[in-house]
Amino acid sequence: MKPALYQTRPGVYALATLCCALWGSSYPAIKNGYALLHIVPADLAGQMLFAGWRFTLAGLILLLAALGLRKRLLPVSRRQAGQVVLLGLVQTALQYVFFYIGVAHASGIKSSIMNATGVFFSVVLAHFIYASDRLNGVRALGCLIGFAGVVVVNLGKGGAGALAFDFTLTGEGFVAFSAFILAAAAIYGKGLSRGMDAMVMTGWQLLIGGLVLTGIGMVGGGHLEAMGIQAGALLAYLALLSAVAFSVWSLLLKHNPVGMVAPFNFLIPVFGVSLSAIFLGESLLRWSYLSALILVCAGIWLVTRMPARRE
C-alpha cells in the first residue's frame, strides 16, 4: 500500500508550502481588515475581537466538516479534554494576542519575516525532545543563516545615515514571541494528535481560542465598524485559511519529524513579503528586505535538504 500524500517527501513539501502560502497571505489580509473595520493600532479590544471572530468561525468550519465525515468529535477522556483546552488557550488565544498586536505595530513585510523565527524555535525544541530529530551541522548552519535574515530585516538608517536596529517590542518583538508560542504549542499538539484526529483537535483548538479572544475583545469594549460585504468576505477568507492551514499542518506534524516540517515556515516571509508588496503597496525594493529573503530561503534549503529520519 502506498503511503498517504502527507507521508511522502514530495507530498510533505507540497502541503507544507500550501500552508505557508496561506499563512503568508494573512499579513496583508489582516492589515486590510484593520483598514476596512477602522481598527487603529491602539485599539487592542478591536484587534482581539477581529481575531476572535476569525478563529471561532474557523473552528466551527472544521468541526462541522469533521461531523460530516463522521469523525468522533468529543475527547475520549477528561485528561484529553483538558489537553485540548490548554492547546486552544495557548496556540490560538495567547499566541494571537501577541500576533495581532504585533502586526498592528509593524509593516506586513517585517511581520512576515519576523515570523520566521518560529523555525529556529521549532528545530531547537525538537532537538531536545525527539531523539530522531537532532540538529546536525548542516541544519544548524541553515538556522543561523535564516536567523541572520531576521537580523538584517530589522536594520535601518539611523542618524547621519548610519545603520541602526529598527525594532520595537510591541511590533516585531510581539510577532517573534507569538512565533515562539506557536512552535512550542505545535510540538505539544503533535503529541496530542497521536491519540486524536488532527482535524477534530484543530477544530476544538481554534474554537476554544477564538471564543476566548472574542470574550477579551467584548469585555474590553471592542466593536467592528463598517462590517460590509468586503470586510465580511475578508473575514471569511481568514477563517478558511486558518481552518485549512492549521489542520493540514497538524496532520503533517503528526506523521513526520518536526525538523522536516517546521523549516518550511521560512517560506511564510517569502509569500508574506510578496503579497504585502502587492496588496499593501509596501516597498519591497529595500536592500534589507531583499537580503533577508535571500538568507531565509538559503536557510530553508540547508535545513530541509537533509531531513531527519522518520520517527
Domain ranges, residue 223? 5-304
Q: What is the rounded average pLDDT for all residues in the chain? A: 80
Whole-number pLDDT of residue 85? 93
User: Which pTM does this prediction carry?
Assistant: 0.77
Domain presence at residue 155: yes
Identify which has the larger pLDDT, 206 or 223: 206
Q: What average pLDDT does this structure show over 267-287? A: 72
HEC readout, 221-277: CCCCCCCCHHHHHHHHHHHHHHHHHHHHHHHHHHHCCHHHHHHHHHHHHHHHHHHHH
List 165's β-bridge partners, or say none.
155
List the one residue out of 81, 9, 20 whose CA is nearest residue 296.
20
The backbone torsions φ and ψ at residue 168, rounded to the nearest 5 degrees and listed phi first, read -125, 145
Domain presence at residue 167: yes
Domain presence at residue 81: yes
Q: What average pLDDT does this structure show over 63-72? A: 90
- Where does residue 42 rank: exposed (0-12), middle (13-18), buried (19+ CB within 10 A)? exposed
- Total domains in the chain come to 1
Question: pLDDT-based confidence at 292, cuts 50/70/90?
Answer: confident
Whole-number pLDDT of residue 239? 94
Cα distance between residue 253 and residue 244, in whole Å: 14
Whole-number pLDDT of residue 282? 64
> The dihedral of CA 242, 243, 244, 245: what is its sign?
positive
Question: pLDDT-based confidence at 149, cuts 50/70/90?
Answer: confident
Cα distance between residue 33 and residue 52, in whole Å: 13
Q: Is pLDDT above 60 for 160? A: no
pLDDT in tens, 237-272: 999 999 998 888 888 888 887 767 777 777 777 787
Amino acid found at 202: T
Q: What average pLDDT does this structure show over 49-53? A: 92
Domain presence at residue 311: no
Domain presence at residue 310: no
> The dihedral of CA 136, 142, 145, 147: what is its sign?
negative
Question: pLDDT-based confidence at 180, cuts 50/70/90?
Answer: confident
Question: pLDDT-based confidence at 207, cuts 50/70/90?
Answer: very high
Q: Is residue 52 a contact partner of residue 214, using CB atoms and an 8 Å limit?
A: yes
Domain presence at residue 59: yes
Question: pLDDT-based confidence at 306, cuts 50/70/90?
Answer: low
Q: Is residue 214 a contact partner of residue 96, using CB atoms and an 8 Å limit?
A: no
Question: pLDDT-based confidence at 311, cuts 50/70/90?
Answer: very low
Domain presence at residue 248: yes
pLDDT in tens, 74-85: 877 889 899 999
Cα distance between residue 227 and residue 223, in whole Å: 10
